[in-house]
Chains A and B, each alone.
Chain A
Amino acid sequence: MSARTEEENHVTDVASEAVPEASTALQQAQGAGDVRGVQTLSMAKAINAGLREALRADEKVLLMGEDIGPLGGVFRVTEGLSAEFGDKRILDTPLAESAIVGTAIGLAMRGYRPVIEIQFDGFIFPAFDQITTQLARQTVRHDGSLSMPVVIRVPYGGHIGSIEHHQESPEAYFAHTPGLRVVSPSNPHDAYWMIQEAIRSDDPVLFFEPKSRYWPKGPVDLDHSGLPLHASRVMRQGTDVTVVGHGAMIATLLQAADIAETEGRSIEVVDLRSLSPIDYGPLLESVHRTGRLVVAQEAYGNVSVGSEIAATVAERAFYALEAPVLRVSGFDTPFPPAALETEFLPSPDRVLEAVDRALAY
């Protein structure tokens, strides 16, 4: 992947600007007065640090997955955790995704808080039944007497030049399913805090990690989380057009906003952070200011999270809109061979083309 140092700094500066906004129960759990400051971490290291905090804070937290033990996962997100917490808490399981989720349900029935790693986005489907018909429904089936605090971490998305089933964005399948929560951080600071919040949630959380953002570094404020798990956030202020996305798309949107600025157009960037539920507040406020919205995502456009946002904004902000809500998505084809991924994935130019169309109304 290409280095995008400037835009990197932009993401993380904005993320850290948002930091002092709120305090949460999480911070109190960390111990008041124990100031640890700001560290510069990659998202992979930030999630690793967040997992370590969660494992230390609650002995019922277990990690389960393929190759997550001594190897530390294929992306090394769990590196060092097996040495610190042992193989009773960091479980290198047999190679069967449905069983990983299914046994995690049984462990949660027993009071554990399993955190699962699915190795790659495209390998979540063997577990689709257990996630949608079992995990998502245990609480309602038990009339609320049983919680399902299971987190499923999913490295997802393109930009890494990999083979089939390794670059997909399957988040819509899960956002469509009642009983699940779905989130995706766009930067290391959010990743550090959101993974801990997800683990503390009593509901199942699909935690989509944008793998193309695993390695760029950014500041992580270890003392202040900033926002609740399901809050969206304005990442960059602008006046002409609102663009909204999540995960790795935020880096692309900020890059597009930088380019647009040189051309005299002011773009506001909103990071959803949570795909289910969606926090529409900041987005609707933004649309009321700009009157125009472009929704961007790597996922296929047909029946997607972007479709839902477009419909909802049209319903709730119809009179504020100066133009139809436009969508920029992956094409409705299988994710192509990696040699063609830059054609498939929304680029800053494709976002700006949609911005131009929105402004043309």
Chain B
Amino acid sequence: MTAEGRRRRAVWQILLFSAGLLVLTVISAGSVYLVNKARDDNKWVVHTLEVENQLNTLLLEIRRAESGARGYLLTQEPNFKADHDKAVAAIVPALDRITRLTGDNPAQRESIEKLSAAIETRLAQFSQEMVYVRQGQVDKAAALVREAAAVDTTSLISSVAGAMIQEEERLFRLRTTNADRSQTFAASMTGIGSGLVVLLAAISIWLVRRSAQARDDAEARLRDANVNLEAIVDERTGDLREANDEIQRFAYIVSHDLRSPLVNIMGFTSELEELGKDIFRRIGGLTGVPAGGPPVDVAEIPLKDADKQMSADFSEALGFIKSSIARMDRLISAILNLTREGRREFQPERIDTRDFIEAIVSSLAHQAAEAQAEIHIEPLPNIVSDRLALEQIFSNLIDNAIKYLKNGVPGEIRIRGRTKLGYAIFEISDNGRGIDSRDHQRIFDLFRRAGTQDKPGQGIGLAHVRALVRRLGGTMSVSSELNAGSTFTITLPINWNASNRNADR
């Protein structure tokens, strides 16, 4: 799985999630809106039904008043009168309610006005009838009834009310349809939305499962790679170890075998030297003794100028050969010592660093006094390491610090220590002549030195120290400027144990 593919899939997931969220929001908003609309529609349906109901009630009350009035007219029984009065009392409130309910519909309002007028006329007739009946003028009342029938106030009321009822029924149908449509719409919207959400969820699940699969694959590959890596590291370590051993053996054998011819060169050069002396003595004997004179001891005969020169050249040549051999021998010895050090097994032990350093410093006290150097030892962390190796490291560094002080300036050498993350860090600083930053790497190379060459030395110390520090699992570095002193920093594991290095060997 490429990085591009991973990125694309992540984008897809975000898009899907956003789409799902959007759909849910739309569905929710739509549902709320549609539910509200359905409720409104239903309210209107109920409203229509109520109007119808009220209209019917009104008509009923008018009928009741009519029949009550007629009954009273025929029989003059107060029962009918009461009935009629009750009905009449109910008519006006019913009419008022209808007026209020239909206030929103202009067509119905017109009808209501007509209806009100007719009802008022009818009510007036009723009260007139009642007055006549009470006065006993039943004929007049009957005439009025007939007149009302003739003018057809009652049927007018009926027809207007009927029209209104029809109107309301039309509205009822219309509103019912509306309400139904709203509900259907809401239902289908919820249905489609849910389907969409389910679909998006399914796609998401599929994507998640696919990336989980990819992750599992990657993990498996990583595990394989780790296992492989370990095997490779083991293999390489083995190779390195072998190569290192090979180099050690090689250096050892080479330096030995180089030494053998050197013994001959040196030996026969010395023989030649002796021979040369003899030869020049003989020359002197041959040329310097006057013929016929008494025999003289050859050693005492002075050479002539040309022969003297020849003798001097001879000695000079031999001198160069001998000093070169001596130098070569020292180098070979140094290599031998280094390889021997490299093959030595370290023995870790607990070291009281302060006592240890003090012992080294006191063994160098003579040199320090000669160089007018003061050595300060600050608190040092104790460590577990190889005593001999540490001794070589510190005595080399302190010895160097004493050796390369500035002429005429009292030396001040400080040894500091601290710990950090399982490592002990030691610093050996001086106020000596310092090292040019160009030479910071060079001073650690075998047989290389830096600065003024006014002190004896082979250029081995620091190379050796660094090799030891590395073998002890540490690092070392220098910070210095010319004429401004040097600080050598050594970082060593606080607990060096044989397994992390000796096991390698």
Chain A partners chain B: no
Residues of A at the B interface (CB closer than 8 Å) are none
Residues of B at the A interface (CB closer than 8 Å) are none
